[in-house]
Amino acid sequence: MADNKLQQQIEFITEIDKLKSVFRRTKILDNSRYENDAEHSWHFAMMALILKEHANDPDIDILKVMKIGLIHDIVEIDAGDTFIYDDSLKENKYKNERAAAERIFGLLPSEQRDEMISLWEEYERQDTSEAKFAMALDRLGPVMQNHNNQGHAWRVNNVPADKVLALNSRIDNGSKPLWEYAKGLIEDAIAKGYIK
Amino acid sequence: MADNKLQQQIEFITEIDKLKSVFRRTKILDNSRYENDAEHSWHFAMMALILKEHANDPDIDILKVMKIGLIHDIVEIDAGDTFIYDDSLKENKYKNERAAAERIFGLLPSEQRDEMISLWEEYERQDTSEAKFAMALDRLGPVMQNHNNQGHAWRVNNVPADKVLALNSRIDNGSKPLWEYAKGLIEDAIAKGYIK
């Protein structure tokens, strides 16, 4: 029989399978279907691995960025995906997600629960190099996806160009070269009429 | 404009989006659909993070295990998913996957290409603690999934009990406690008639 600690860890690993059924507003690059949070989190962690040299902070702890990438959306199992351009959802977002973090990470042994909640809170606060670079990667993916499919999520949700530029400009806080790249994609999308 | 190195990295990040459309023989835990390689790789990396204390080698480099988890199936974009219980597919598996590794990781700047191919080869060779623990996690997931859905992949593919036990016993090389746990699930599946 598994000891109590392993049993708790297995329960957590089983619970987070549900992230594969939380769908986002962005489509995968072949446009065949919406992306789910689990595969988005995989792509995020891969981006951390491949793009780390572009972080503004050369001494960034890339393992921590990868951990943030893997766990940052787990709260959405309970709280659901919040479309970042929808201001009406912002008010209760933190409260709902914090409750979700306590329930889901609370399945783990206490030391691991504390580490996971602390990583999630660090990402929310955006006050470390790792959290800022993680945010840059979390935003870059959807910009690439939306540029690739003629601005699908921006168009169907009526997001204006100035809002796309403003919300994605925080990529700059984590990586100047990645913001230069993303800004180029957004400007190209505006020029091509993908954004209103 | 992005410099040449960033452009290569972006091309790789775009290419690997295809992993979200490579489907496996196992279903996600709610049984609603088959699992894809990208979300499987996310779950694998999460398991590395949560279960590291159960590795046989207490000095294991968990960042390396996570990297292996994230990249180990990328070759399947070209080579497809090989069902581990199907012996007929083994012969050309390495050759096809090696060619895929060279093409896909070959999109990256040379230093990163070499690191990724080396990680993938290390996992294939199974001669380090990290590769062995990674294999344990890669096997544990499907055992949990199949136990959960009355042995779906074992039943529909006619895999006999001795083969399920033999192929999964390699979990023991990476983690004795995880093999104890997985063996318990397989024995329970046999007792319940989920495996022929």
Residues A173 and A56: their CA atoms lie apart, in Å, by 8
Crossing angle between the packed helical segments A62-71 and A129-148, to the nearest 10 degrees: 60
The ipTM estimated for the assembled molecules is 0.94
**pLDDT tens digit string along A74-116?**
999 999 987 777 777 777 899 999 999 999 999 999 999 999 9
**pLDDT tens digit string along B115-142?**
999 999 999 999 999 999 999 999 999 9
- Neighbouring-strand partners of residue B23: B36
Taking the Cβ of residue B110 and every Cβ of chain A, the question of whether any pair is shorter than 8 Å is answered with no
Residues A6 and B184: their CA atoms lie apart, in Å, by 14
Residue A54 DSSP class: G
Q: Is residue A129 part of a domain?
A: yes
Q: Is residue B196 part of a domain?
A: no
Residue A18 has pLDDT above 60, yes or no: yes
State the pairing for strand pair A34-36/A23-27: antiparallel
Q: How would residue A1 be classed by pLDDT, with cut points 50, 70 and 90? A: very low
Tell me the residue type at B189.
A
Residue A33, judged by CB atoms within 10 A of its CB (0-12, 13-18, 19+), counts as exposed
**A133 and A47 Cβ atoms separated by less than 8 Å:** no
CATH number of the domain that residue B133 is part of: 1.10.3210.10
Taking the Cβ of residue A99 and every Cβ of chain B, the question of whether any pair is shorter than 8 Å is answered with no
Q: What is the pLDDT of residue B102?
A: 98
Tell me which residue range forms the domain holding A160.
4-26+33-191
Residue B1 has pLDDT above 50, yes or no: no
**A43 and A140 Cβ atoms separated by less than 8 Å:** no
Residues A65 and A62: their CA atoms lie apart, in Å, by 5
Residues B156 and B82: their CA atoms lie apart, in Å, by 15
Nearest-neighbour CA in chain B from A123: distance (Å) = 17
Q: Considering chain A, what is the average pLDDT of its residues?
A: 94
- When CB atoms are compared, the residue of B36, B50, B54 closest to A39 is B36
Give the total number of structural domains in chain A: 1
Q: How would residue A3 be classed by pLDDT, with cut points 50, 70 and 90? A: confident
Residues A56 and A190: their CA atoms lie apart, in Å, by 27
Q: Is residue A196 part of a domain?
A: no
With residue A116 as reference, give the H or E element that holds it.
helix A110-125
Instruction: Tell me which residue has tokens 């790249």.
Output: A181
Nearest CA in chain B to A145: B14
| Mean pLDDT lowest among A58-67, A70-79, A81-90, B56-65 | A81-90
Q: Considering chain B, what is the average pLDDT of its residues?
A: 94
